[in-house]
Amino acid sequence: MLKISDAAHFRRVVAGLCLVAAPLLFAVAEIATPQPSGSAAAQLASFAQHRDQLLVGVLCGLASSMCFIAALFGLLHKIRTRGVVYAHVAAALIIYGLVTQAALGGINAMFWVMTKPGMNHAAMVNLLNGLQHGSAIAGAPLLAGHYLFAVGVVLLGVAVWRARLTPRWAGILVALWPVSDVALSSVGDMTSLVSDAIAVAGFAALGWRLLTAPDASWDAPPEIAAEPVPEPHPSAI
């Protein structure tokens, strides 16, 4: 049961749930969102044919961004020793990527409106043409967000590993998510399912660890092994 009055319990449970939900929603958004190609008219026709999927992709993408932010701050709270620098650099890159992802979601929402029955088809095709052939400099910050997000996720996985958060293999899976996505991108369209499955496994393992941990562990300081006291040399006795 979610104890709203207990800050440690509430934050631990919310972070754990978001760690599980964020990659799942991301995968649904990626699978549902149409990826048309060809002329502006052909792309608009594809969006019109898959309007429901486009809307699902937009909503799941926004929900995923919100969950990732809560999950990210939950991990930052637990990473307090080794990996702190990696984690905070990762947080900056990931949040930038999530902001651009939300902006791209707004553009997809615009495509959903453009394909509404009764809209002037010729005007919408001209509008889409103008958007696609506009200034590349204006769209560069949005496109950069995708790559910065990927770099941030890799650094987050490194931070989880260095901080020795359990299970440690989850940090490896988190770091492998964008790496596997790039490595498998040339194989086929459905290979993104493999990288998404890696992300779900890694983040869900961390989320389950938080959900099953006692409330006292949320604010408890990290355990640091005591350094052995050197024995005096016999000549010094």
What percent of the chain lies above the pLDDT cut of 70? 85
Reply yes or no on whether the pLDDT at 26 is more than 90. Answer: yes
Say how far apart CA 162 and CA 86 lie, in whole Å.
Answer: 9
Q: Are the C-beta atoms of residues 148 and 104 closer than 8 Å to each other?
A: no
Burial class (CB in 10 A: 0-12, 13-18, 19+), 151: middle
The pTM for the full model equals 0.82
**Tens-digit pLDDT profile for residues 170-213:** 999 999 999 988 887 767 666 778 889 999 999 999 999 999 88
Which pLDDT score, from 0 to 100, does residue 177 have?
Answer: 93
The helix/strand count (H/E) of the chain reads as 8, 0
- The DSSP-derived string for 175-204 is HHHHHHHHHHTTT-GGGHHHHHHHHHHHHH
What percent of the chain lies above the pLDDT cut of 90? 39
The total of other beta-carbon atoms located within 10 Å of residue 86's CB is 21
| Alpha-carbon distance values, 140 to 104, 171, 178 (Å) | 12, 30, 20
Tokens 């958007």 belong to residue: 131
Tokens 């979601």 belong to residue: 105
Say how far apart CA 122 and CA 72 lie, in whole Å.
Answer: 44
Q: Are the C-beta atoms of residues 60 and 52 closer than 8 Å to each other?
A: no
Q: Specify the amino acid at residue 123.
A: A
Please name which of 122, 130, 113, 141 lies closest in space to residue 47, comparing C-alpha atoms: 113
Which pLDDT score, from 0 to 100, does residue 223 have?
Answer: 46
- Here the tokens at position 13 are 């449970």
| Alpha-carbon distance values, 208 to 13, 15, 55, 132 (Å) | 10, 10, 30, 42
Residues in the chain: 237
Query: What average pLDDT does the segment 151-165 reach?
Result: 92
Split at pLDDT 50, 70, 90, the class of 27 is very high
Helix axes 51-78, 192-212, angle to 10 degrees: 40
Split at pLDDT 50, 70, 90, the class of 234 is low
**Tens-digit pLDDT profile for residues 56-104:** 999 999 999 999 999 999 999 888 778 899 999 999 999 999 999 988 8
Query: What average pLDDT does the segment 139-149 reach?
Result: 85
Split at pLDDT 50, 70, 90, the class of 167 is confident
Which pLDDT score, from 0 to 100, does residue 224 have?
Answer: 43
Which pLDDT score, from 0 to 100, does residue 226 have?
Answer: 45
Tokens 């006795």 belong to residue: 237
Displacement of CA 20 from its chain's centroid (Å):
11
Split at pLDDT 50, 70, 90, the class of 225 is very low
Which pLDDT score, from 0 to 100, does residue 217 have?
Answer: 78
Query: What average pLDDT does the segment 3-14 reach?
Result: 80
Which pLDDT score, from 0 to 100, does residue 142 have?
Answer: 80
Reply yes or no on whether the pLDDT at 148 is more than 90. Answer: yes
